[in-house]
Amino acid sequence: MADIVIIGAGPAGMSAAIYARRAGMSTVIFEADMYGGQIVNTPEVENYPAIQKISGFDFAMNLYNQASDLGAEFRMEPVVAIEGDAETGFRVRSEYSTEEAKAVIIATGAKNRHIGIENEERLTGRGVSYCATCDGAFFKGKDVAVFGGGNTAVEDALYLANIVNKVYLIHRRNEFRAEKALVDQAVANDRIEIVTPKVVTALKGEDKLTAISLSDMADGRETMIDVDALFIAIGQVPAAAPFAAVVEQDNGYIVAGEDCKTSAPGIFVAGDGRTKNVRQLTTAASDGAVAALAACDFVRASR
Ligand code: NAP
């Protein structure tokens, strides 16, 4: 039996692992997809205190190495359920194994929102992508589109503009949600064409994406542009569905205050999957520390 099982190896989960291991707790951390989570998709992190600039990938690898060197046991297995309770102990079931735990930290964060249109799943990996830093290099010298109006979309457009011939930055409103400094850079970039207020309504192509249809939000007019890739960056949705039966949720987010305590004693939540206002790298790391120290207290009290 592990003292603490952490579900999700993003910045919140791996920060929790660092704190849990440094407190001497045996710690198992499950990850379904990619160590680092969403931050791996960020080309440059420039707002983490004391680190002026670092790629999201390097940030994630540094965290992984730090937690791993401290003795956290990583398992690349998707968790499907948490069973048991604080009295009898928890059983965290993945698709391949079951780990018993005295306390559990859910740090599954969020996953990319899909547009929900025809061909989106079929053309994913064939021109449709949710990660510019992962897939941008495949489209050197081509014309591509980015869909979204937040920091991720604008950062993706700026990153891609260094690689591709042209970037269409498509957003459903004329005003961007992204920080002004980023939007100003995009507006000033000759390789970026801002296309608003429009939404992507259709994806064309048999073996690979060849064009996208857009609908104008003001007059409903449909247009089509030829592109080799569409990078979808329209935000995230929480990834806590497997835990709906064990912890209280609000619109898919796990309900907890700044103490990271869920409705179930012994189960804690850290990171973007928690009900909160600010979802940033700094607050994910902060949640990881708070949840881990609360879980450590819980384990000590139950000994
Ligand atoms: P976000 O801030 O939630 O922005 C999502 C964008 O997608 C919004 O512009 C939204 O439009 C649009 N959108 C949402 N649903 C849509 C739909 N169904 N169809 C079309 N458009 C849709 O997401 P994000 O950019 O991924 O950022 C997530 C969080 O990470 C934010 O807090 C962000 O500040 C942070 N972040 C920070 C950095 C950084 O500081 N360097 C980098 C990346 C991300 P509306 O604007 O009209 O709602």
pLDDT the model gives residue 143: 98
Does ligand 1 have an atom closer than 6 angstroms to the CB of 109? no
Q: Which whole number is the average pLDDT over 154-168?
A: 97
Which H helix or E strand runs over 24? none
Atom of ligand 1 nearest to the CA of 179: 34
Does ligand 1 have an atom closer than 6 angstroms to the CB of 146? no
Query: Percent of the chain beyond pLDDT 70?
Result: 100
Q: How confident is the model at residue 38 (pLDDT cuts 50, 70, 90)?
A: confident
Does ligand 1 have an atom closer than 6 angstroms to the CB of 208? no
Q: Which whole number is the average pLDDT over 211-226?
A: 98
- State pLDDT tens for residues 119-151: 999 999 999 999 998 889 999 999 999 999 999
Active site residue 143: no
Residue 102 has pLDDT above 90, yes or no: yes
Separation of alpha carbons 105 and 297, rounded Å: 13
Position with higher pLDDT, 303 vs 189? 189
Catalytic residue among 3, 33, 85, 135: 135
pLDDT the model gives residue 108: 98
Which H helix or E strand runs over 105? strand 98-106
DSSP state for residue 185 in the 8-state scheme: H
Q: Which whole number is the average pLDDT over 21-34?
A: 97
Which has the minimum average pLDDT: 3-12, 207-216, 276-285?
Answer: 276-285
Output the 3-class SS for 231-299.
EECCCEEECCHHHCCCCCEECCEECCCCCCECCCCCEEECCCCECCCCCCHHHHHHHHHHHHHHHHHHH
Q: How far is the CA of 283 from the centre of ligand 1 (A)?
A: 17
Mean pLDDT of all residues in the chain? 96
pLDDT the model gives residue 97: 96
Phi then psi for residue 111, to 5 deg, are: -120, 165
The widest CA-to-CA distance across the chain, in whole angstroms, is 66
Does ligand 1 have an atom closer than 6 angstroms to the CB of 127? no
Catalytic residue among 3, 131, 260, 296: 131
Catalytic residue among 33, 58, 134, 216: 134
Task: Please tell me the residue having the least CA distance from ligand 1 atom 41.
Answer: 45
pLDDT the model gives residue 101: 98
Active site residue 272: no
pLDDT the model gives residue 44: 83
Q: How confident is the model at residue 303 (pLDDT cuts 50, 70, 90)?
A: confident
pLDDT the model gives residue 138: 95
Atom of ligand 1 nearest to the CA of 151: 25
Q: How far is the CA of 177 from the centre of ligand 1 (A)?
A: 7
Q: Which whole number is the average pLDDT over 82-101?
A: 97
Q: How far is the CA of 83 from the centre of ligand 1 (A)?
A: 34
Which has the minimum average pLDDT: 33-47, 187-201, 251-265?
Answer: 33-47
pLDDT the model gives residue 46: 85
- State pLDDT tens for residues 165-175: 999 999 999 99
What the block records as the tokens of 180 is 């002004």
Separation of alpha carbons 63 and 77, rounded Å: 19
Active site residue 135: yes
- β-pairing, 98-106 vs 110-112, is unpaired
Q: Which whole number is the average pLDDT over 172-183?
A: 97
Task: Please tell me the residue having the least CA distance from ligand 1 atom 3.
Answer: 235
Q: Do domains 2-112+236-302 and 128-232 have the same CATH topology?
A: yes
pLDDT the model gives residue 227: 98
- State pLDDT tens for residues 263-288: 999 999 999 999 998 889 999 999 99
CATH number for 128-232: choose from 1.10.10.10, 3.40.630.30, 3.50.50.60, 3.30.1600.10.
3.50.50.60
69's CB contacts (< 8 A; 6+ apart) are none
Fold of domain 2-112+236-302: FAD/NAD(P)-binding domain (3.50.50)
Does ligand 1 have an atom closer than 6 angstroms to the CB of 283? no
Q: Which whole number is the average pLDDT over 53-73?
A: 97
Atom of ligand 1 nearest to the CA of 199: 20
Q: How confident is the model at residue 43 (pLDDT cuts 50, 70, 90)?
A: confident
303's CB contacts (< 8 A; 6+ apart) are none
Residue 41 has pLDDT above 80, yes or no: no
What the block records as the tokens of 191 is 């390789």
Does ligand 1 have an atom closer than 6 angstroms to the CB of 183? no
Query: Percent of the chain beyond pLDDT 90?
Result: 93
CB atoms within 10 A of CB 98: 10
Q: Which whole number is the average pLDDT over 64-88?
A: 97
Q: How far is the CA of 153 from the centre of ligand 1 (A)?
A: 7
Task: Please tell me the residue having the least CA distance from ligand 1 atom 48.
Answer: 177
Separation of alpha carbons 19 and 217, rounded Å: 48
The domain ranges of the chain are 2-112+236-302, 128-232
Q: How far is the CA of 233 from the centre of ligand 1 (A)?
A: 7
Does ligand 1 have an atom closer than 6 angstroms to the CB of 41? no
